[in-house]
Amino acid sequence: MVLETSFERHALPLEYPFGIARGTTTEREVVTVRIEDDDAVGVGAAAPASHYGETVDTVTAVLPDLLAVVEDEVTDADDLHRLETVERRMRETVRGNPAARCAVSIACHDLVAKRLDVPLYRYWGLDPDRTLETSYTIGLDDLETMREKTETALERGYGTLKIKLGTDRDLEIVETIRSVAPDVDLFVDANEAWEPKEAVRKIDHLAEYDLSFVEQPVPAENPEGLRFVYERSPLPIAADESCVTLADVPQVADRCDIANLKLMKCGGLREAKRMIHAARAHGLEVMLGCMTESNASIAAACHLAPLLDYADLDGSLLLADDPYDGVPLPDGRIDLAGLERSGTGAVRE
Ligand SMILES: [Mg+2]
């Protein structure tokens, strides 16, 4: 059996400029990977984040070596199931580069499940009815635009919103959004923008607005600051930039309530599952988040929904036009049972 592998860059325009505490983007570049055998094509994608040292250039630079691992490891159809070995050898082949490795991991899992003609959640033995709603993110903008985006999100049926914070008008933003969306579940994400004492002061005020949790209040480089906030916060604290790989889980376990994992940070689907179980073993709740990504990668993340407490898998919903269709998200609900395709369900529209 000979596998054919290829990759290509895609520019994905966003529906709105996406503002977080570190800056604003209007377009996202991703790299889509295809791994093809005689009767199926596995698809995956890398959505690299410069915050973690990756760009589309670094992804395309290492993908030939990563795809060579797959071609070398898989010489007959049964070899395709050696997904642990493929992920381990990719980790040994390139240091770091998690988004690039993740693209290949997703494409391999998609291909294996397609060959078995089952959706990925079933290959993993997960219950599609144990699902949840993804949050929909309202990026930073002027107050009036954030209010309009919130009203549009409510019209589209989303019942869980995540608000980006990290400005000098954070309380005003939350007050405004809560006033137009009194009934939704509301998360906030400061993206490392606050100092520890500032964070505690702000969270004390934010607690009036019935928020589910506060994500990454302080910089990841300040782990003691995170503990300071966690010990004083009236709201649960989620760690995102502070919780990147499996080794970070025990490090953050005594300074947050929720671990926000992302495929593009940890480098693969099997690594993500290990992180989910490790986080639980340390008494943490688990959220799976994403970058702005197409369904070529988000669809795979959706299959982990039955293992999560929170999902922030809105990457595709934030795009002006996603070239890929994926797992259905009616009103933001991750409808695995409604997926009628095998593999991850990612398919070019
Ligand atoms: Mg975050």
For 2-27, write each residue's pLDDT tens digit.
Answer: 899 999 999 999 999 999 988 999 99
- Domains of the chain, CATH where assigned: 4-118 (3.30.390.10), 123-348 (3.20.20.120)
CA of 151 to the centre of ligand 1 (A): 22
At residue 81, the pLDDT reads 87
Interval between CA 215 and ligand 1 midpoint (Å): 6
Rounded to the nearest whole angstrom, what is the distance from the C-alpha of residue 79 to the centroid of ligand 1?
A: 37
User: How far does residue 191's CA lie from ligand 1's centre (Å)?
Assistant: 6
| Span 116-137, average pLDDT | 97
Q: Tens of pLDDT along 31-61?
A: 999 999 988 999 999 999 999 999 999 999 9
Query: Would you list the DSSP string of 259-301?
Result: EEEEHHHH-SHHHHHHHHHHHHHTT-EEEEE--S--HHHHHHH
Question: Above 90 in pLDDT, residue 164?
Answer: yes
222 alpha carbon to ligand 1 midpoint, in Å?
Answer: 16
Q: How many angstroms does the Cα of residue 156 sit away from the middle of ligand 1?
A: 23
Q: What is the mean pLDDT of residues 84-104?
A: 96
pLDDT band at 202; cut points 50, 70, 90: very high
Q: Which of 80, 79, 104 is nearest to 90 (CA)?
A: 104
- How far apart CA 283 and CA 285 sit, in angstroms, is 7
Q: What is the mean pLDDT of residues 272-283?
A: 98
Find, among 6, 105, 102, the residue nearest to 52 by Cα: 102
The overall average pLDDT reported for the chain is: 96
> How much of the chain exceeds pLDDT 90, in percent?
95
CA 162 – ligand 1 centroid, Å:
9
pLDDT value at residue 203:
98
Query: Cα 19–8–313 angle (5° rounding)?
Result: 40
C-alpha 81/C-alpha 304 separation (Å) is 19
CA 291 to ligand 1 centroid distance, Å = 9
Structure tokens at 142: 């002027």
| Contact (CB, 8 A) for 171 and 177 | no
Q: How confident is the model at residue 349 (pLDDT cuts 50, 70, 90)?
A: confident
